[in-house]
């Protein structure tokens, strides 16, 4: 992520060239200074994001975190971010919102982000005016299929996070007859031996 984010920073080249601006006026020098300051701030922001990428993705491997964030960034299609840095920031923000706790959850979260983006892209295409109804229908069908995939992904994420399939039973009225016994409170069944 770091190398990609810095690929498109031609402004940094002017730092290595001490001659770049020696023949220009104070206004140009001031503009360059402000541009450098903006670029430096942007670099610091990217560096900070890179440091948090492992935490956001739920991994200790910087390479895995970088790869995951870059893949999510490249899957963003609607609206397509204009710059590499914007893409990475958007991807990292989306991953942070999904809060994956491990790489499996991060991979699924990345797929969910990509599917969600594609859904909106196809829905937008379906609303383009003056297009044949076949194109409208085709884009609505694509979006609908992806919505089903998203719901399946959502259920898979719930299972991974341990939030699916939990049931709560509330007993409101209990009859205990003579000679019977009752326990009030939570009961956990243990499969270990013991008891007696």
* d(C-alpha 101, C-alpha 132), whole Å: 45
* CA dihedral sign of residues 27, 30, 36, 41: negative
- Is 180's pLDDT higher than 50? yes
The Cα-based distances of 60 to 85, 98, 106 in angstroms read: 22, 18, 12
pLDDT at 176 over 90: no
Annotated domain spans of the chain: 2-160
Overall pTM > 0.95:
no
Write out pLDDT tens, residues 114-135: 999 999 999 999 999 999 999 9
The three-state secondary structure class of 18 is coil
Please say if the pLDDT value at position 17 is more than 60: no
- What is the rounded CA–CA span in Å between residue 151 and residue 86? 28
pLDDT at 141 over 50: yes
The answer to whether 8 and 83 have CB atoms below 8 angstroms apart is: yes
Say if residue 12's pLDDT is above 60: no
């Amino acid at each position: 992520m770091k190398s990609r984010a810095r690929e498109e920073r031609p402004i940094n080249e002017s730092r290595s060239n001490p001659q770049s601006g020696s023949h220009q006026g104070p206004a140009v020098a001031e503009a360059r200074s402000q541009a450098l300051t903006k670029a430096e701030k942007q670099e610091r922001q990217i560096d900070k994001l890179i440091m948090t990428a492992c935490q956001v993705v739920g991994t200790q491997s910087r390479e895995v975190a970088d790869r995951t964030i870059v893949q999510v960034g490249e899957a963003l299609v609607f609206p397509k971010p204009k710059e590499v840095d914007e893409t990475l920031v958007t991807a990292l923000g989306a991953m942070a919102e999904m809060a994956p706790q491990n790489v499996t959850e991060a991979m699924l979260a990345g797929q969910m982000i990509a599917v969600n983006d594609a859904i909106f892209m196809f829905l937008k295409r379906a609303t383009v005016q003056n297009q044949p109804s076949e194109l409208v229908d085709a884009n609505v069908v694509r979006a609908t299929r992806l919505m089903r995939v998203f719901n399946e992904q959502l259920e898979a994420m719930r299972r991974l996070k341990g939030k699916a399939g939990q049931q709560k039973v509330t007993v409101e009225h209990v009859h205990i007859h003579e000679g019977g016994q009752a326990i009030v409170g939570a009961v956990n069944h243990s499969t270990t031996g013991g008891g007696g």
